[in-house]
Chains A and B, each alone.
Chain A
Amino acid sequence: MTSPHLVPLDLEALGQRLAQKQGPEFWRSLDEVAQTPAFQTWVQNEFAPGAPEWHDPLSRRRFLQLMGASLGLAGLTACTRQPEEKIVPYIQAPEGLVPGKPLFFATAMPLGGVAHGVLVESHMGRPTKIEGNPQHPASLGATDALTQASILGLYDPDRSQSVTHVGRLSTWSAFLTALGPALETQRLNKGARLRLLTETVTSPTLGQQCQDVLTLFPQAKWYQYEPVTEDAVRAGLQLAFGEALQPVYHLEAADVIVALDADMLTSGPGNVRYARDFMRKRQMSGHQHSMNRLYVVESTPSLTGAMADHRLPLRPAAIAGLAHALMRALTGSATGSSEPAPTSLLTRWVQAMAGDLQQHRGKSLVLAGPQQPPVVHALAHTMNSLLGNIGQTVTYIAPTQVQPVDHTMSLMTLVQEIVSGAVEMLVILGGNPVYTAPANSQLAHHLTQVPLRIHLGLYHDETAALCHWHVPEAHYLETWSDARAYDGTVSVLQPLIAPLYGGKSAHELLAALLGQSGSSGHTIVRTAWEKRYADRDFEPFWRTTLHDGLLAGSASPARPVTVQPDVAQKLAPVPTAAATGLDVVFRPDPTVWDGRFTNNGWLQELPKPLTKLTWDNAAMLSPATAQRLGLRNEEVVELRYQGRTVRAPVWIMPGQTDDTVTVHLGYGRWRAGQAGTGTGFNAYALRTSEALWFGSGLELRKTGERLSLAITQEHHSMEGRPLIRTGTLAHFLAHPHFVHEMVHDPKPEMTLYPPHRYDGNAWGMSIDLNACLGCNACVTACQAENNIPVVGKTEVINGREMHWIRLDRYYKGDLHTPETYHQPVLCMHCENAPCEVVCPVGATAHSAEGLNDMVYNRCVGTRYCSNNCPYKVRRFNFFQFADWQTPSLKLQRNPDVTVRTRGVMEKCTYCVQRINEARIQAKKEERPIRDGDIVTACQAACPTQAIVFGNINDPQSQVAKAKTDHRSYGLLADLNTRPRTTYLARLRNPNPALDDTTHG
């Protein structure tokens, strides 16, 4: 797609098309609504224009000439023999390992200090795939996309591989030698000039070690900094209850949920568990015919907002006003009279929400996002208290952090100390503060004043470059450690593999500071737990904890809380000037997070859930604002905030709040690695400690430049058909068959081909669109399981991304507040598969169990199958996308799945390796395959259990039951392809009082 977005936005024309229903009812992009020529070209061609062309200096034509000349030699290739392979046995076989069978070990992935319990699949000592730990409260067997992709981080060839001293290679022992005298100097003045800087610490052992350092050096100080911080959550709780607490939500008990700029379903501590709990109240299977109702008021579109039954875009600073108004409506009294009168839309919203909340006392929940100021949090907690929700839908526990502090303040204090010359030795344990620190701290500038700087990190990154010593950090899959989950549950992290690059954990570095440099991570962690459980028989306790991946019963107990009596005074609204100009909103990136995953190719290429953007971030504007400013997609603008500027490409985002520009953190890194360096722009450059999450007064200036963005939202488009089927709960209850009235499905006998017979198993899948969050966990899980390569930004622009599952995102309704829908599309495994009949070499064939098999070794790359596939789910290896060179990446591959070569078509196999494994196991045990024996990778990862897979010949199987649901429909079933993958229609549960004003 060469210039798809050059047409200036004509909002009125677009609005008219949508209003007059000239355009599609469901739409994927503004270009689709406008039916621009570029969009039409893109839709009508299976492959992007020029996609079959080579971009090498050698043209395709020249290549064919050369190949023709060597045709005579080509026949001889059949005579080549397989290269001889070597086989290397163990000296002594490890206990419990059966060669060829994977083992699973429980550990936990810490993100921002919060543990997510996982089971890691290990093939002959190589960790290859991460699954959720069904016993762990934060996981319940599911994972998110970041956890899935973290396995690639382990094998990243760009990870730092050696200790360095002022940029030169060094060794751990040289570091220890240099550390000795430095520590001695510090000891003499009781550590008065020694400072520690860590990320969030929930690890009891690491916390203890930090305390030990402070005991050994009594005047040293420990600072913590996490860029995606929960400072406001902590401060809000302090304000409401007067003590340090942490909330745990119980969404499974809530019938009405009001989220104030909160994206609790897809980001933040416990999001995977929250998503599961939320969906429990929305699953329409069986006899359940009720749904919870979600109101979302937010400044920037989020996935939680996309799930909402009612969504209201509001400027970030205005959300506090709405919270005050809601509070007033609930108490029936005025907490302040200076508040400007809300507009009529807001009044209706407040009344509707207040009415709904009042009707569901004890079964409702108000929650605020970490990006909102403390007062909004305090209001939310007070409202929950008023509604009797505390103890029902929300409980409070002691903070899981060892030392809960305000992270931003902590870092700013450290910088002040550096400026005043009080710091002589700074030890940075993990994190990349030079890149992530607020711009006004000027950490990068001041850091060099510290006479001795030591950095422990996974990469030789921006911070490492400014430190004297850099020690490579061990990945969490190489480390002994411990950490706590969102509810306080403790997990002990065990390594899956010895450090690939001799990395050290934070425990080992702290031990060196404490003069115990000999002790291994294992000794440190185990000894710490032995001390804590000195009264028990330790060995069984330790083994059980490691085996289960968590310490049983370690979840923090709920604490009784009471709202501060004077909270009303404290929360009195401060009169603020009406917002004018542009607001800037900062958000962690949905795929690369705060920048720690910037070098992860899987996450870079993962289309961001709502924008479908890959390899970049963008300044997101609402259509109205873009039109007012005369901006087009991909136009580069200069953003100026408080005197600091960055240049960013524009992306027009339906549903974005007007006059609000959202930028995502994590891009624009200059020392990330091969994959990450130079992607996107650095939003941290605008972020200050006063405006961590939003601020007003942003200036925007056109530059006249353009930057191509790799956006997949129009790729593989199947426009103009009822692909997404939705309705409201009330409509569904009144007309249960509405889904089937939308389109005529042909009868099974309407075909010229003889029917297939399935005597045994017949595999099928059902995807509940009502439960699909669009979180991308399935896409990444599939990538890890099936050895799917990364193709890079240029090739994504060419439409050559290789993901076997894509998540189609559709909008419905107007441009300002459209409804948002997600639909995962993978191979449908059609009964009458159009691809099978056109393959000239029989490389795609129907199996006896109804799978549409893809045989890579037969495929000659004609791509006819892809041309004939109405679902556009086939992916072609235009180049040698799979990396055969990098040794570390070979270790990651799933040995049960072929690594494909150039010139081969591929697609979803329903995880046939897992099917075969289950079949063989069942045969060996002389029993049929049971329902639930086969769990596909996408199904396993899904936080909301939207995907079910199984034998549709067995009427008792989950999938067969799902397919009898009234909401079940096949995608493009009117083509009589008879897809094996079917969908359950999405339902919304709008409040009748609000239904005509806003959309979810």
Chain B
Amino acid sequence: MAQIFHPSTNTISRLSIFGAVFIIAALAWLAAAVTRSPYVTQEGVARTQPVPFSHKHHVQGLGLDCRYCHTSVEDSAFAGIPPVKTCMNCHSQIWVDSPMLAPVRDSFRTGRPLVWTRVHDLPDFVYFDHSIHVKQGVGCATCHGRVDQMPLMWQNASLQMEWCLECHRAPERFVRPREFVFQMDWEPPADRIALGKQLVRDYNIQPPTYCSACHR
């Protein structure tokens, strides 16, 4: 009686068993890679806005402090988006005819607000508080990156939970002295960890890692 299977079947079956393992592993890797990719997290993607506001120009060029616009960052969970009046403080005097600023002027005149696209958008089940992070020496640039070098705003980090926990589990790697929180170009000293540990002690930093700290 002739053999039912050709000898090459052995090779094919071995390959497909190995293949299955690798394919499944590859799919898992792909899924993990996709969820962490900028496609999902929007990391590094500059958003279009009704007015092409340049942080680079205003912060680096003109030297505005973060808190001139984001007024509630030290008091509230929400850092605050400046009211149109804040723009008009200067722009009723300078660049009064700029076509780029037309939406701002229209908004101020008509009372119809500007509608910005949110760049840093945490999921609705996450409750983040700016004020306590600023108070405990987390610099603006630590999370938001070198905003002073961004012509259009983008998200500098993934904002995923593993990214949050990097700091909550080892704050000494990221904190800085309070007086430099709003300084964009602060560079840590060589013994960064020693300074971090000192600050963790001085500021009594005990970042919570249990669920209800952020999820409620």
Contact present for B117 and A923 (CB under 8 Å): no
Q: Check: B83 CB closer than 8 A to any chain A CB.
A: yes
Contact present for A857 and B131 (CB under 8 Å): no
Contact present for B216 and A909 (CB under 8 Å): yes
With a cutoff of 8 Å between Cβ atoms, the chain A residues found around residue B76 in the complex are 98-101
Partner of B135, one of A87, A915, A924: A924
Partner of B210, one of A78, A91, A101, A845: A845
Contact present for A853 and B111 (CB under 8 Å): no
Contact present for A86 and B115 (CB under 8 Å): yes
Contact present for A100 and B115 (CB under 8 Å): no
Q: Check: B121 CB closer than 8 A to any chain A CB.
A: yes
Tell me, in angstroms, the Cα distance from A495 to B213 when the chains sit together.
Answer: 34
Contact present for B211 and A847 (CB under 8 Å): yes
Q: 22 A-B pairs, CB-CB below 8 angstroms? A: A78-B31, A81-B42, A84-B117, A85-B121, A87-B115, A87-B116, A89-B82, A89-B113, A91-B84, A91-B108, A93-B83, A100-B72, A101-B75, A760-B206, A846-B210, A849-B210, A855-B211, A858-B211, A897-B216, A898-B124, A898-B215, A916-B129
With a cutoff of 8 Å between Cβ atoms, the chain A residues found around residue B107 in the complex are 91
With a cutoff of 8 Å between Cβ atoms, the chain B residues found around residue A78 in the complex are 31, 34-35
Contact present for B132 and A920 (CB under 8 Å): yes
Closest to A81 in B: B40
Output the residue of A87, A90, A92, A924 with the most chain B CB within 10 A. A87
Tell me, in angstroms, the Cα distance from A912 to B125 when the chains sit together.
Answer: 13
Tell me, in angstroms, the Cα distance from A84 to B75 when the chains sit together.
Answer: 26
Once A855-B211, A857-B125, A897-B216 are accepted as A-B contacts, the answer to whether A75 and B82 lie under 8 Å apart by CB is: no
With a cutoff of 8 Å between Cβ atoms, the chain B residues found around residue A101 in the complex are 72, 75-77
Tell me, in angstroms, the Cα distance from A648 to B96 when the chains sit together.
Answer: 74
Main secondary structure of the interface of A (DSSP, over half): loop
Contact present for A85 and B118 (CB under 8 Å): yes
Convert A402-437 into 0s and 1s, putting 1 for each residue whose CB lies closer than 8 angstroms to a CB of B.
000000000000000000000000000000000000
Once A78-B31, A909-B212 are accepted as A-B contacts, the answer to whether A86 and B83 lie under 8 Å apart by CB is: no
Contact present for B31 and A100 (CB under 8 Å): no
With a cutoff of 8 Å between Cβ atoms, the chain B residues found around residue A99 in the complex are 72, 76, 78, 80-81
Convert A67-95 into 0s and 1s, putting 1 for each residue whose CB lies closer than 8 angstroms to a CB of B.
00000000100110110111111111100
In the complex, what's the smallest C-beta–C-beta distance from A900 to chain B, in angstroms?
9
Contact present for B210 and A848 (CB under 8 Å): yes
Once A81-B40, A923-B136 are accepted as A-B contacts, the answer to whether A89 and B116 lie under 8 Å apart by CB is: yes
Tell me, in angstroms, the Cα distance from A851 to B215 when the chains sit together.
Answer: 13
Contact present for B84 and A920 (CB under 8 Å): no
Q: Check: B19 CB closer than 8 A to any chain A CB.
A: no
Closest to A75 in B: B31
Closest to B215 in A: A855
How many residues of chain A have a CB within 8 Å of chain B?
Answer: 44
Contact present for A91 and B85 (CB under 8 Å): yes
Convert A837-878 into 0s and 1s, putting 1 for each residue whose CB lies closer than 8 angstroms to a CB of B.
000000001111101010111100000000000000000000
Q: Check: B5 CB closer than 8 A to any chain A CB.
A: no
Once A88-B114, A924-B135 are accepted as A-B contacts, the answer to whether A82 and B121 lie under 8 Å apart by CB is: yes
Q: Check: B180 CB closer than 8 A to any chain A CB.
A: no
With a cutoff of 8 Å between Cβ atoms, the chain B residues found around residue A75 in the complex are 31
Contact present for B81 and A87 (CB under 8 Å): yes
Convert B11-46 into 0s and 1s, putting 1 for each residue whose CB lies closer than 8 angstroms to a CB of A.
000000000000000000001001100011010000
Q: Check: A896 CB closer than 8 A to any chain B CB.
A: yes
In the complex, what's the smallest C-beta–C-beta distance from A214 to chain B, in angstroms?
43
Tell me, in angstroms, the Cα distance from A91 to B214 when the chains sit together.
Answer: 31
Contact present for A79 and B116 (CB under 8 Å): no
Tell me, in angstroms, the Cα distance from A978 to B90 when the chains sit together.
Answer: 62
Q: Which A residues, 882 to 934, have Cβ-Cβ distances below 8 Å to chain B? A: 896-899, 909, 912-913, 915-916, 920, 923-924, 926
With a cutoff of 8 Å between Cβ atoms, the chain A residues found around residue B34 in the complex are 78-79
Closest to B40 in A: A81
Q: Give me 16 other A-B pairs in contact (C-beta within 8 A), A100-B78, A856-B215, A923-B204 excluded.
A: A78-B34, A84-B121, A88-B115, A91-B84, A91-B107, A93-B85, A98-B72, A99-B72, A99-B80, A99-B81, A101-B77, A760-B206, A847-B213, A898-B216, A916-B127, A920-B131
Q: Which B residues, 91 to 119, have Cβ-Cβ distances below 8 Å to chain A? A: 107-108, 111, 113-118
Closest to B134 in A: A924
Contact present for A916 and B78 (CB under 8 Å): no
Contact present for A88 and B113 (CB under 8 Å): yes
With a cutoff of 8 Å between Cβ atoms, the chain B residues found around residue A84 in the complex are 117-118, 121
Convert A286-315 into 0s and 1s, putting 1 for each residue whose CB lies closer than 8 angstroms to a CB of B.
000000000000000000000000000000
Partner of B75, one of A87, A98, A851, A855: A98
Tell me, in angstroms, the Cα distance from A856 to B212 when the chains sit together.
Answer: 10
Q: Which B residues, 159 to 216, have Cβ-Cβ distances below 8 Å to chain A? A: 204, 206, 208-213, 215-216
Q: Check: B63 CB closer than 8 A to any chain A CB.
A: no
Which 4 pairs show the lowest CB-CB distances between chains A and B?
Answer: A100-B78, A100-B76, A847-B210, A90-B83
Q: Which B residues, 40 to 90, have Cβ-Cβ distances below 8 Å to chain A? A: 40, 42, 72, 75-78, 80-85
With a cutoff of 8 Å between Cβ atoms, the chain B residues found around residue A87 in the complex are 81, 115-118
In the complex, what's the smallest C-beta–C-beta distance from A786 to chain B, in angstroms?
9
Once A86-B117, A100-B77 are accepted as A-B contacts, the answer to whether A853 and B83 lie under 8 Å apart by CB is: no
With a cutoff of 8 Å between Cβ atoms, the chain A residues found around residue B42 in the complex are 81-82
With a cutoff of 8 Å between Cβ atoms, the chain B residues found around residue A845 in the complex are 210-211
Tell me, in angstroms, the Cα distance from A858 to B117 when the chains sit together.
Answer: 28
With a cutoff of 8 Å between Cβ atoms, the chain A residues found around residue B118 in the complex are 84-87
Closest to A94 in B: B83
Q: Check: B7 CB closer than 8 A to any chain A CB.
A: no
Tell me, in angstroms, the Cα distance from A851 to B210 when the chains sit together.
Answer: 10
Once A86-B116, A91-B111 are accepted as A-B contacts, the answer to whether A896 and B125 lie under 8 Å apart by CB is: no
Tell me, in angstroms, the Cα distance from A869 to B72 when the chains sit together.
Answer: 42
Closest to A899 in B: B124
Contact present for A853 and B210 (CB under 8 Å): yes
Closest to A80 in B: B40
In the complex, what's the smallest C-beta–C-beta distance from B163 to chain A, in angstroms?
15
Contact present for B212 and A896 (CB under 8 Å): no
Once A81-B42, A98-B75, A845-B210 are accepted as A-B contacts, the answer to whether A91 and B215 lie under 8 Å apart by CB is: no
In the complex, what's the smallest C-beta–C-beta distance from A835 to chain B, in angstroms?
14
Contact present for A853 and B204 (CB under 8 Å): no
In the complex, what's the smallest C-beta–C-beta distance from B30 to chain A, in angstroms?
10
Contact present for A896 and B216 (CB under 8 Å): yes
In the complex, what's the smallest C-beta–C-beta distance from B70 to chain A, in angstroms?
10
With a cutoff of 8 Å between Cβ atoms, the chain A residues found around residue B115 in the complex are 86-88
With a cutoff of 8 Å between Cβ atoms, the chain B residues found around residue A846 in the complex are 210
Contact present for A92 and B83 (CB under 8 Å): yes
Contact present for B121 and A916 (CB under 8 Å): no
In the complex, what's the smallest C-beta–C-beta distance from B160 to chain A, in angstroms?
11
Contact present for B212 and A916 (CB under 8 Å): yes
Contact present for A916 and B113 (CB under 8 Å): no
Contact present for A79 and B208 (CB under 8 Å): no
Contact present for A89 and B72 (CB under 8 Å): no
In the complex, what's the smallest C-beta–C-beta distance from B77 to chain A, in angstroms?
5
In the complex, what's the smallest C-beta–C-beta distance from B120 to chain A, in angstroms?
10
Tell me, in angstroms, the Cα distance from A363 to B56 when the chains sit together.
Answer: 76
Contact present for A853 and B211 (CB under 8 Å): yes
Partner of A89, one of B83, B206, B208: B83
In the complex, what's the smallest C-beta–C-beta distance from B208 to chain A, in angstroms?
7
In the complex, what's the smallest C-beta–C-beta distance from B130 to chain A, in angstroms?
8
Tell me, in angstroms, the Cα distance from A856 to B126 when the chains sit together.
Answer: 10
With a cutoff of 8 Å between Cβ atoms, the chain B residues found around residue A847 in the complex are 208, 210-213
Tell me, in angstroms, the Cα distance from A90 to B72 when the chains sit together.
Answer: 14
Closest to B122 in A: A82
Tell me, in angstroms, the Cα distance from A915 to B212 when the chains sit together.
Answer: 10
With a cutoff of 8 Å between Cβ atoms, the chain A residues found around residue B206 in the complex are 760
In the complex, what's the smallest C-beta–C-beta distance from B191 to chain A, in angstroms?
26
Output the residue of B31, B42, B83 with the most chain A CB within 10 A. B83
Tell me, in angstroms, the Cα distance from A858 to B34 when the chains sit together.
Answer: 20
Once A87-B118, A101-B72, A853-B215 are accepted as A-B contacts, the answer to whether A920 and B129 lie under 8 Å apart by CB is: yes
Partner of B132, one of A93, A912, A913, A924: A924
Contact present for B212 and A853 (CB under 8 Å): yes
Partner of B213, one of A82, A85, A92, A916: A916
